[in-house]
Amino acid sequence: MRHRYSVFFLPLHILADFFCLNAAFVLAYNVKFGSVSAVAEPPYATLWLVFNLVWLVIAIILKPYNFPRQLFKIDHLLKKQAMVIGVHVAAIAVYWVFTQAYYYSRDHLFYTYILFFLLGAAYRIGGLLFLREYRARGYNNRRYVVVGYGKLSKTITRFYDIHPEMGFRFCGFFDHSSSENRLALKGGYEDLATYIRDNQIDCVYCCLPYIDNTYLRQIVDNADDLDYQVKLLVDFRGFLSRGTSVEYHDFLPVLNLSSQILEDFRVNALKRAFDILFSLGVIVLGSPIFVAVALATRLSSKGPIFYAQERVGREGIPFTIYKFRSMYVNSEKAGPSLSQGLQDNRITPWGRFMRRTRLDELPQFFNVLKGDMSVVGPRPERQYFIDQIVEIAPEYRDLLKVKPGITSIGQVKFGYAANVDEMVKRLRFDLLYPERRSFGLDIWIIVQTVRVMMQGRGQ
């Protein structure tokens, strides 16, 4: 049976809220009056009944339990819960004034809503954590296919690969077969309907840059008969921003992109100001650490204290990056090569410690002050390796839209890469940054980086 357990989620959610509401009402009565013996007697019996009826009406009208999986997150759940409780408070206030029931205890009402929110939040958080783990293990999944093969179509599969807790299982690409995509396809357009029926596909993502309108119409027309959802993927990346708005001319939606430049300016100005202040703080307050690391580097092995190398920055512009030297001199005399991890015999014993704690990266704060780098951003690479990465993953070019950084999502989640294949794997994390960059995300990445440094888990 298809999704045999999913049908229980909605009634369980509703029943759980009614249990929390009634438990909160009774517990609040006990807190206020020291006993629950009279809670089911007038006048509180009437208020108790009104509480439940109002919540039922709100649930029917506002439908607070309808969440797509992509929005099934703690913040969305708690915001919706708080909003619905606010509506309930307003309705009870109207009832109170209309019936002139001023004999009800304000303290009781206050305690009821506080307990209701806490109980509801507790079961929502617990249920969400359970569902995430349950879906990450392969249960309660939604099967999906992608119609139209290209860069955009691989973006949606990468997103669900990174978020297995959402419970989406990829079942294949469908498109016209060619020499470039033949090995990646599950089938062509003529095979799609049969595959959907035989494999009980729940969702079909259609990539508008790669699909003809005629086939799109067929997919939409078949959706009711084969019981699947159709979702459109349109590649607006590169010119849409959070400042973009939608204007409606009668029934015609029009995208307003005029706030793009202003929004980009605000983000970049705030980020640059933070980079300068943060880097100055690290350099000034951490100067004793800089001196100690420099002395240890100089005394631990022959060679210079600093290591300089050309890297590729924003818009493909090369710059010189600085590090504390962690390898023996002339380690790359045979040509460019990546570190093979902490067991690489080119790394000095002191260098291994610096790499585990990321202390070798400290001189890059001077790169940040110069404007070549940012505190947070995808790690810069050498042109020699970029050429190899682009052959495998052309989307790497998206990282060149932002300044490279000292630390990144890829550095936190993956670490250093020992070969081009690992660089491509790390890429799937770093590609999240250009589209989602924000001050809050930067702070989160910095905190995670400090944690890695303190635990000595750098590779």
- Helix H, strand E, coil C: the string for 344-413 is CCCECHHHHHHHHHCHHHCCHHHHHHHCCCEEECCCCCCHHHHHHHHHHCHHHHHHHHCCCEEECHHHHH
Nearest residue to 321 (alpha-carbon basis) of 377, 394, 265, 387:
377
Rg (CA), the chain: 29
Residue-level pLDDT at 315: 84
User: Is the bond into 43 cis (omega within 30 degrees of 0)?
Assistant: yes
Tokens describing residue 182: 């033949």
Residue-level pLDDT at 259: 47
Nearest residue to 427 (alpha-carbon basis) of 376, 389, 371, 370:
389
Residue-level pLDDT at 91: 92
What single-letter DSSP state applies at residue 148? S
Residue-level pLDDT at 420: 79
Count of beta carbons in the 10 Å neighbourhood of residue 264: 12
Residue-level pLDDT at 161: 83
- In angstroms, the CA 448 to CA 357 distance is 13
For the segment 283-337, what is each residue's pLDDT rounded down to a tens digit?
999 899 999 999 999 998 888 999 898 999 888 899 999 999 988 887 766 555 5
Beta-bridge partners for 318 = 312
Residues 6+ apart with CB under 8 A from 219: 147, 192, 204, 206, 230
pTM of the model: 0.44
Residues of the chain with CATH 3.40.50.720: 142-235
Yes or no: say if 192 and 174 are a contact pair by the CB < 8 Å rule: yes
Which residues of the chain, if any, have pLDDT below 50? 1, 238-242, 259-262
Long-range own/partner contacts, residues 344-353 (CB < 8 A, 24 or more apart)? 348/300, 348/301, 349/300, 350/296, 350/297, 350/300, 350/301, 350/326, 351/300, 351/301, 351/325, 351/326, 351/327, 352/326
DSSP letters along 97-118, please?
Answer: HHHT-TTS-HHHHHHHHHHHHH
Tell me which fold the domain 142-235 belongs to: Rossmann fold (3.40.50)
- In angstroms, the CA 231 to CA 22 distance is 40
